[in-house]
Amino acid sequence: MTLRQSNYIKLIAMLTMLIDHIGVVLFPDAVILRVIGRISFPLFAFQLGIGYDHTGNFSKYLTRLFAFGLVIQTAYAVGTKLLAPEYDSGTLNIFFTLTLGLATIHFYQNRRYVFLLAVFIISAYLDIDYGIYGVALILLLHINKNRKQGLFSALAILGFAYCYLHQDYIQMFSLASLIFLLKPLEPKMHIPSYTFYLFYPLHLLLLYTAQRLFFT
């Protein structure tokens, strides 16, 4: 995958995440926004594997994801306590899911299967965004990154399992992410590596601020 293709996937992932969160925060009855949002996570999951392949320092990459997740979680906890004490969600943000997913890739690549199993057990018990489904998807998309049928199978099987367990059909629309994974465009643009780290907390801050000011 070229750098331009990777940047394209990152852009689509951020845009669909924004649409999803607009639905969550501002327009919870607009199901179409949540449907479009299902495209986002598989793209981020896929890109995490690409990042692993190109990183020169796995430990630094892992630590950065975890540390950023910790900072966001702390800020979120303080913010909700001060601004919206009636709302209390213990779910750990997406950076914890990405951290565990990155660890599974590393342990799989290095054949450290006991540690790999341990990460999945931890994922099953921690209340992380997307749960064990998200961690498993990160690993399977990385394993099948060069196999079109494998990418489809990973999204379809895990999506069906998620829908069955949660009794929510909407995750099956994550299959639409294949449109961007199988035929990524190559626009002339550059997205700095830290963009997502900033975009994630800032867009949520703006959306929750808008909710408090205009939707309550």
| pLDDT (tens digit per residue) in 49-103 | 999 999 989 999 999 999 999 999 988 877 766 555 556 667 899 999 999 999 9
What's the pLDDT score for residue 61? Answer: 96
What's the pLDDT score for residue 166? Answer: 87
- pLDDT confidence of 19, banded at 50, 70, 90? very high
Q: How many domains does the chain have?
A: 1
For the entire predicted model, the pTM comes to: 0.94
Nearest by Cα to 41 from 20, 67, 55, 70: 20
Those residues whose C-beta lies under 8 Å from the C-beta of residue 65, and which sit 6 or more positions away, are 95, 98, 99, 102
Express each pLDDT in 189-215 by its tens digit.
888 878 999 999 999 989 988 988 888
Those residues whose C-beta lies under 8 Å from the C-beta of residue 122, and which sit 6 or more positions away, are 100
What's the pLDDT score for residue 1? Answer: 79
Instruction: Supply the range of the domain harboring residue 55.
Output: 3-214
CB under 8 Å, gap of 24 or more: what pairs does 63-66 form?
A: 65/95, 65/98, 65/99, 65/102, 66/95, 66/96, 66/99
Helix 40-54 × helix 58-83 angle, to 10°: 140
What's the pLDDT score for residue 212? Answer: 84
Tokens of 190: 């550059």
Mean pLDDT (the chain) is 91
168, pLDDT greater than 60: yes
What's the pLDDT score for residue 147? Answer: 93
What's the pLDDT score for residue 213? Answer: 87
Length of the chain: 216
